Amino acid sequence: MRVVASAAVIGAGLLFALATAAGAAPPSGTATVGLGAYYTELKGGMLGSAPRPPAAEYRSGEAVGKAAPTNQWYSSVMFQRWSQPLHAHPMTYRAVEAGFELGLPTRRLAVENGGAKRELSYLHAAAVTVSPVAFKPQDARLAKFSDWLVQVSMAAGAGESLTATVLHGSPFSYYECSKGDVRFRLASQPKLLSDPKDASRDARVASFTVDGKAYAVFAPTGSSWEWTQPTELVLHLPAGARYFSVAGLPNDSEATLRDFLAVAYAFPTDTRVDWAYDEKTSAVRTTFRVETVAKEGQNLTTLMGLYPHQWNAAKPVPASTYQYESVRGPIRLVAGNGFSIERTYRGTLPSWSGLQDPANAASVNSLLVGDVVKANQLFTKMGRGTYWYGKGLGAVAQLMSIAEAQGQPGKRDELLKLLKARFETWFDGRHDQYFMQDSSLGTFVGYPQEYDSVTAMNDHHFHYGYWVMGAAHVALRDPAWASKDKWGGMVDKIVADIATDERGRADFPFLRNYDPYEGHSWASGNADFDAGNNQESSSEAVNAWAGLILWGEATGNRKVRDLGIYLYTSEVASVQQYWFDLNRQVLDREFGKPFASMVFGGKYAYNTWWTQEPRQIMGINLLPFTPASTYLAEDTAYIRKLMDGLPADVKTYQANVASDGTPADVWQDVLASYLALADGDAGLAYWSKRGSVEFGETRTRTLYWLHSLREMGSPDLSVTADTPLYSVFRDKAGSRTYLAYNARDTAIRVTFSTGKVLDVAPRSLARAR
């Protein structure tokens, strides 16, 4: 990468803009959007043979012709002949050469390095394997998908296929076999609960336990059965009814079997999530619906399993008789085809206000001078791909906001110019850092890749969240730059890659990283793990959705803004539930840690991809610190508990792991920022001005954050407002500070739930006590 002074970079960006305006031809192999250009094929030259996105070759039926749904819990189906385990909860599944496996997983705890690394898992184990008798499938393919439903086709040739439909939260899987009989291989000698060959029982139902867990197969009328071996049951389907369903049961009672039989023939065909943000009440309402067809009889009602994050927010709370133990805590079954949840959006801001204490302001302004001079170095500290470059964009955006808040317009403008130039270097298509639209997979990828962001489609929301956040800060100060006929179209492509809200498109999938039913994002593009997909840095996911809110508001796109509010509010709720477990409903006591730093489909863990060092394990789920990070203050006692326990964890780690060169005060700025959310004075005492600095941080940002919280107090998440950009703080004496930002061209009046009213001028921040 060319390392040049910011002025030179700025000049290059301006020269390109002028050349483009004068009609200069775009680079060969590119498509243009406004002043920007992106490649539609791999670019030669400096990078040589750049890596391609993976081929999602295992698709068929309705899935062909649509953008590949990477980064989902089932994405492995598309990328390999036989899938990795699919953790649907409460069931697990896997397509293998022998057939389609299913099972109810069992809890397991693993401890390594004297407790420095801990994992609690519910991994897949095949209790039942379903396979066709008349043909041998050649592979497994993704044939159909909707918001949390997946259909896997295992075919041998024309007219020979076994299809399995599975979905989040359901104990059922649903099958169709085009020809011949169906074989069920059991993992161990079963205990029969309902033998269909028994004349006193329902001939459509076979029920049994395998390794202590109960299962049932529901076949159409006219079926017959044959036990060919002690652990092998063959189903003879009638010619006109080539379907059946299988369920993992919560217990082995007769009453339970009757209840499951009543809904066994309502086959799901579609799933859909819808959301709405009410600006006046700051409420986000989400509705989940399942469409079904009756394969036998008239019943269309199914069973839906609500995860803890859904159950705790359900309105109204549905009746539930059955529940399952799972890696996500209790999954409660409700009879019905839909439910709704409602949450409160707690607000965010692009920036806070200037420091009120002159001494505090002077100390921050002093650091600002040096950090502005060194701002260009934020892009050269680590890698040069979309992640580390994005972190540089995010850090400069925060620095620029602080300069503005502190009444330093000259420094703000200098940083704004740098930020624009750095964006344009990637956006113009004329450098060795560029974007490409891949039409075969349906994605917008940046080169060079980092952390397999191209070859495995990893972490797009982590990377691009920084870009969207940075672009939003430019747009708030220069709306023309963000217009579609200039550079906004390129930002919109980045947004579309991680947050397209339309289903069925060929260029981008619906909400690539976000799992609507689990309520959080996934990081791995191909989900090539036995434990399923995963997400480590929950806070970087939250950062992405906060960026959407600001970009939508800055550009007047209410649809994008409201999508951002839905994603931000939902992700935060799931982070508090499954990573931090604030209400203690999920993490097993034997796990022995107060939070999970990595959440997989089939496990949660206390470690990171690169280290088991406790401060970084904690910090990766905290950074980056921006005004959107106030959600971390939902439970300030929890913050203190985590920080109080950290020294002992560090000591345990150091006693069991050889020295790895970690700085003695690694990420002290990240941890001080976290502690300050509970106690500003304690946060300031924790921080060292001359201590280590996380590579995406500046000393100015940290000190400004610490002093701001010392002056205003901790975030008060009990107060809402009738505008999307707001925050409220409450100091130790009980006095509140109200902040509201107006990104619009006309003045607004903001009313808080306490009755406080703020009049906010156009494109400005207002503050009151």
Which residue in 428, 515, 540, 634 is the catalytic one?
540
- Is residue 215 within 8 Å of 247, Cβ to Cβ? yes
φ, ψ of residue 354 in degrees (nearest 5) = -65, 150
Question: Among this protein's residues, is 176 annotated catalytic?
Answer: no
Amino acid present at 529: F
CA distance 726 to 349: 6
| DSSP strands (E only) in 455-513 | none
Question: Among this protein's residues, is 562 annotated catalytic?
Answer: no
Under 8 Å CB-to-CB from 650, ≥6 apart: which residues? 613, 614, 615
CA distance 511 to 217: 34
Query: Of 520, 580, 528, nearest to 545 (Cα)?
Result: 520
Q: Which residues pair with 112 in a beta bridge?
A: 117
Under 8 Å CB-to-CB from 11, ≥6 apart: which residues? none
CA distance 545 to 171: 31
**Locate tokens 């960026």: which residue?**
547
CA distance 592 to 40: 50
Query: Of 236, 184, 241, 237, nearest to 215 (Cα)?
Result: 184
DSSP reduced 3-state for 129: strand
| DSSP strands (E only) in 576-636 | 598-600, 603-606
Which residue in 147, 160, 424, 459 is the catalytic one?
459
CB atoms within 10 A of CB 483: 15
Q: Can you say how many angstroms the Cα of residue 158 is from the centroid of all Cα atoms in its chain?
A: 38
Which residue in 101, 438, 497, 536 is the catalytic one?
536
Tokens (6 digits) for 599: 């959440």
Q: Can you say how many angstroms the Cα of residue 234 is from the centroid of all Cα atoms in its chain?
A: 41
Tokens (6 digits) for 237: 């389907």
Question: Among this protein's residues, is 759 annotated catalytic?
Answer: no
Residues taking part in catalysis: 459, 536, 540
